[in-house]
Amino acid sequence: MWVCRSVCFSGPRSGNDVSSLQSQVDAVGDVGATAASTSATVCIASEPSADDDQSPAVGQHSLSDVGVLYDNDLLQRDRVAQLSDDQKNSLLCRHWVPPEDYDWPFFQKSKQRVYLRRNHLSGKYGCFKLSSILNGVVCVPCALFATECASNDRGKLTTLGSLVKTPLRNYRSLTGKDSSLDSHLVTNYHKAAQAFADNFVTNKVTVACQLDNKRRRRQEEQRARLVPITKTVILCGRLGIALRGHRDDGWLDVDKPISAAQGNFRSLLTFRIDAGDAVLKQHLATAGKNATYISKTTQNELIRLCGDVIIDRIRRIVEDVTKAKYFAVLCDETTDSSHQEQLCLCIRFIDCVADKHRIREEFVEFQSAVDLTGEGLAAKILCILHAHQLDVKHMVGQGYDGAASMRRSEMPLLWQRMSTALATC
């Protein structure tokens, strides 16, 4: 299968340029090419395939022009993925350099021409390379290692454009403040791609390993941002402190003094920052407004996740009780701050680990108690035990705080089942 694409040049090119173009084309595979004074057609040969719409495969030869990775001035990610480590190293270290008598391209202003010069591609701008195929400038490290989308300083995703996804041909403002090249050098995605490239050339570390390390570091950074927020939610939960306030939405200005109207949760976050929590301060100062993780929706989500952790721990406790087989029930009733009666149920059992026996008392669940009679409480206890798949036949003891409603005469069903369990022990 032959795939052809045209490569147009602005202005005449010397025989050296045609030879350079021919060498780049040969590096991609078995190629036929014709070059004229103003244009050339590159034909890339790939292995026969049942699907003729597939992109041409990059050959296993050394490359020296990043232009072979582009098609119709757009970077083809599939071609980048096909490159071997040697080919990437060749593009980074042995890229095509214009000869001394090269006719440099220019950008036509209204009354003057602005030329691209050799100093624009050297020194601190050495990562930028002029492609003889594209007749434009490309950042090679970003073309090889940058992701499709990148986050800016405020955490928002941006799509890569000129110098990466497409070549730069507008040479109007290349260096200086707010220039094309200098603005690109300070972006986070370029710094990451340049670090990948430097590490790749120095240590020959595979790209997959570098990407994996970067992803792991980013995950650690994101988790570190959530740690103080999650700890604050847990603190409020353990102490029974309400999280919400009268004004609990929007941006949290950490430089303003704590206000009672903003609620306990946001006040505690401000207090943490005032006490020297640099990670939380950096997060709230740089995160986007939709990624602060302090909204009421995120608070509820963190509370739900804390509940999932507790439920998972209770599940492991129930597994230990099942292994022990026999257990006793400990119950007490109390009134919460909303004057709602709550039944607290705990399990007492003997845990055997490495031939060592120890008595454990573990909390299982809170349940609202509407019916406070002995019959109602017995039904509630049986319901909780059934929900956790604990067999009442193995319940050999009950412990209460001396309430009259828990007498045998008030709870005949529960006492009858316990008597049966004791008889079968």
The predicted pLDDT at position 34 comes to 34
The predicted pLDDT at position 61 comes to 45
The predicted pLDDT at position 372 comes to 77
Co-location of 12 and 149 in the same domain? yes
pLDDT tens figures, 180-230: 898 888 888 888 899 888 888 877 656 666 667 777 888 888 888 899 999
Co-location of 70 and 195 in the same domain? yes
Say which CATH number the domain at 389 has.
3.30.420
Please state the rounded mean pLDDT for residues 137-161. Answer: 78
| Tally of structural domains, the chain | 3
Residue 302 placed within a domain: no
Co-location of 173 and 269 in the same domain? no
Q: Of 294, 326, 342, which residue constitutes the final position of a domain?
A: 294
Residue 214 C-alpha from the chain's centroid: 10
Residue 304 placed within a domain: no
52 in Cβ contact with 73 (< 8 Å): no
Residue 303 placed within a domain: no
Q: What does the alpha-carbon distance between residue 226 and residue 216 come to, in Å, rounded to a whole number? A: 16
pLDDT tens figures, 368-419: 888 877 778 888 888 889 888 898 888 888 888 766 666 655 555 556 655 5
Q: For the purposes of burial, counting CB atoms within 10 Å of the CB of 11, is it exposed (0-12), middle (13-18) or buried (19 or more)?
A: exposed
Residue 100 placed within a domain: yes
Co-location of 174 and 117 in the same domain? yes
Q: Of 294, 326, 356, which residue constitutes the final position of a domain?
A: 294
pLDDT at 80 over 70: yes
197 in Cβ contact with 214 (< 8 Å): no
Q: What does the alpha-carbon distance between residue 262 and residue 118 come to, in Å, rounded to a whole number? A: 58
Residue 217 placed within a domain: no
DSSP 167-232: -B---SS-SSTT-HHHHHHTSHHHHHHHHHHHHHHHH---HHHHHHHHHHHHHHHHHHHHHHHHHH
Look at residue 377 and give its three-state secondary structure.
Answer: helix
Cα radius of gyration rounded to whole Å, the chain = 35
Co-location of 57 and 199 in the same domain? yes
- Residue 52 binned pLDDT confidence (cut-offs 50, 70, 90): very low
Co-location of 160 and 56 in the same domain? yes
Co-location of 411 and 327 in the same domain? yes
* Helical H segments across 33-138, by residue range: 77-82, 85-93
Structure tokens at 131: 């492609």
The predicted pLDDT at position 9 comes to 37
The predicted pLDDT at position 228 comes to 92
Residue 199 placed within a domain: yes
Residue 350 C-alpha from the chain's centroid: 44
Co-location of 92 and 151 in the same domain? yes
Co-location of 49 and 187 in the same domain? yes
Co-location of 263 and 365 in the same domain? no
Q: Which domain holds residue 398?
A: 315-424
Co-location of 174 and 277 in the same domain? no
Co-location of 285 and 390 in the same domain? no
Residue 214 placed within a domain: no
Q: Of 232, 264, 294, which residue constitutes the final position of a domain?
A: 294
Cβ within 8 Å of residue 244, ≥6 positions away: 263, 264, 265, 296, 299
Residue 301 placed within a domain: no
